[in-house]
Amino acid sequence: MLEIPNRDRKRDRRTSVRVEILDAAWSLAREQGLPGFTLREVARLVGMQAPSLYTHFDSRNAIIDAMFGQAWQECGQAMKEVIPEKPLPARGWLRLVAHSYFDFCTSDPVRNQLMNQRSVPGFVPTAESYAHSVAVLDTLSTELAGYSVTRQEDIDLYTALIGGLVDAQLANGPGGDRWRRLVDRTVEMYADNLGL
């Protein structure tokens, strides 16, 4: 007799609806800005009444929190996809990661804004969502330690340099490459400073 695995259809449906809600929220945020969308608009996009959203998210900030966690999960996945199994020389690895992060952030300005700026009044990520951003930084720190970059100030400098290029690109030339062209030069200056 063929055994059929038990599926929790209710949980599957709930997960599916949550994904729909998040997709709708991202769509509205990209259209109106992060602070601009309402729960009523999200509900309308997913075809439900606004009070029904509360069975999935208890507030607008809860939706934003889930978006924050999702964004950092996606960032972590994007970073894992570019890091090769074979070790690279330090400068090559730093360039690869810098370009990957830069491209990830500049490909979706609203997602970057939620990840890296405090643009939603009153929003503070929960520990659960914030853990995804910490995981990305922990992965970066672990990889950098393999190149003898272990001082927190050196790790902070790397993230600030690349994050600054992202911010300059989004503020002054969205869709262009003016600051992307500076990534390699920035990495070289950073590596020179650390003697890598």
Give tens-digit pLDDT for 19-32. 999 999 999 999 99
**Confidence (pLDDT) at 148:** 94
Token pair 């970066």 in the structure block, residue? 140
Of 32, 124, 108, which Cα lies nearest the Cα of 69?
124
DSSP the chain: -PPPPP--HHHHHHHHHHHHHHHHHHHHHHHH-TTT--HHHHHHHHTS-HHHHTTT-SSHHHHHHHHHHHHHHHHHHHHHHHS-SS---HHHHHHHHHHHHHHHHHT-HHHHHHHHS--STT----HHHHHHHHHHHHHHHHHHHTTT---HHHHHHHHHHHHHHHHHHHHH-TTS-TTGGGHHHHHHHHHHHHT-
The ranges assigned to domains in the chain are 8-58, 66-194
Q: What is the pTM of this model?
A: 0.88
**Confidence (pLDDT) at 10:** 66
| Same fold yes or no, 8-58 and 66-194 | no
CATH level 3 topology of 8-58: Arc Repressor Mutant, subunit A (1.10.10)
Residue 70 binned pLDDT confidence (cut-offs 50, 70, 90): very high
Give tens-digit pLDDT for 92-141. 999 999 999 999 999 999 999 999 998 898 899 999 999 999 999 999 99
Average pLDDT, the chain: 91
Residues 135 and 76 sit within 8 Å (Cβ to Cβ): yes
Domain 66-194's class? mainly alpha
Give tens-digit pLDDT for 74-91. 999 998 888 877 778 999
Residue 5 binned pLDDT confidence (cut-offs 50, 70, 90): low
Give tens-digit pLDDT for 55-67. 899 999 999 999 9
